[in-house]
Amino acid sequence: MTEWFKRRLSACCMNPLYLMNPSFFIKLLVLLLLYKHVDSQCKISRCNSEFIEATADMHDSERSTAYCNALRDYSSCTRRTSRTCRGDLAYHTAVYVIEDLIIQNNCSRDSPTTVPKPPALSPNKHDYFPSTDTCDYEKSFIHKHGQSPTYQYCAVFGDPHVRTVNDEFHTCRVEGSWPLLDNNNLFVQATSYPIIKGSNVTGIGKLTIIFKNMKECIEEKVYQAEMDNLPVAFADGSVNGGEKPGGNSLTIHEHIPGQHITIQATYIGTTIAVRQVGKHLSFSIRIAKEIATSFTDEQDLQLCMSGCFLSQRISIHNCCRPKGSLTRKKARLLCKEKLPVEDIYFQSCVFDVMTSGDVNFTQAAQKALEDARALHPDSKKIHIFHSNRTSYPCSSSFLLLILTILQLYI
């Protein structure tokens, strides 16, 4: 259990909604004066320790009741600390682990556990044998609702740039591990690192994708991609969703060895594309809206859903000096060869090439546009011709420091 949390631990951040408050500068002054005396209030590690201690000496015979009681106490502890832990990845991991363990151990949530009775078999065989459409999300949705599901699109590429499910576009200054999606069926985490030493340029160096266990369709599967290691199998060596009846509703396909794979998750109406371009990875996803929005308030930290925090956004129009001899004019000419339409992908290309001095970034934007054409549900929205000009320029380092302090301690 402790190793699970260590692998998924990340920095704690909160949404700085207090910036519009009239008492902003008064609060800031107090925070700066008391900076050395303020500690993070997220107590998720205490919840983790209490659960591990409560179950450490538990015998197998006790697991049916005592273990479920410990899980309920663990869940209550995380709920009590939810407000102060909204941006802590270990907290979100704990919420997911608890949910999974409660299901696996047939635990009730509000009362002492009783072993559930097996359901009575119905004379109609279709009531206890899975339908052929059960693990085909789109067919099942049409059968239930009489219409096709709504799909959403998200992508992360380059420095990195995030295109949210609402077609908002952010260029982010993020380092470390951040969740892209975290819902009832899917968890995606990206880990970014500095591409150039001493530079603010970052890129995705690792992607972790968890397909959560789903009844008769698939077993839980984990896919991990790292720089120079884009596998064509899940972490356990399998290439599909396992031995369950719907195992083939989750499959991996290789398009270019070491450069481009897709994962088809038919059972949740989802297609994922992962690429390695130059020195970093990119991620794109087409996902059913009903699946993407199936999360609780405690799972609200998701870059694909709301983008990066204000303090991590930077402007691609007003940021940074050119790297080396690559002027803005030269960067525009290089990007124009790959991206003739001067949309947000073109602008991102110019930004990345200028700030990194790496011409491989022209391919990152080009491949991201290709993925958008292949996966975006609305062809009219592939190109974006605007951006958030209220983002903070990377030259405003003092303002970014202030905002970061506010995120951590207000």
pLDDT per residue of the chain (410 residues) written in tens, 0 to 9: 333 333 333 333 333 333 344 444 444 333 333 333 333 456 777 788 788 878 877 766 555 778 888 888 888 887 777 656 655 667 767 777 787 788 777 787 654 433 343 443 343 433 334 455 789 999 999 999 999 999 999 999 988 899 999 999 998 877 788 899 999 999 999 998 887 766 667 889 999 999 999 988 999 999 999 999 999 999 999 999 999 999 999 999 999 999 999 999 999 999 999 999 988 899 999 999 999 999 987 777 899 998 888 877 887 776 666 666 678 889 999 999 999 999 999 999 998 888 888 888 899 999 999 999 999 999 999 999 864 444 443 433 334 444 444 444 44
What was the pLDDT predicted at 137?
97
Q: What is the pTM of this model?
A: 0.65
Cβ-Cβ contacts under 8 Å for 68 (sequence gap 6 or more): 102, 105, 107, 108, 112, 113
Please tell me the distance from the alpha carbon of residue 381 to that of residue 154, in angstroms, as a whole number.
12
The architecture (CATH level 2) of 151-315 comes to 3-Layer(aba) Sandwich (3.40)
Looking only at Cα atoms, what is the longest distance across the chain? Answer: 76
87 CB burial (10 A radius; 0-12, 13-18, 19+): buried
Are 402 and 28 spatial neighbours (Cβ–Cβ below 8 Å)? yes
- One-letter amino acid for residue 337 of the chain: E
Q: d(Cα 98, Cα 73) in Å, to the nearest integer?
A: 10
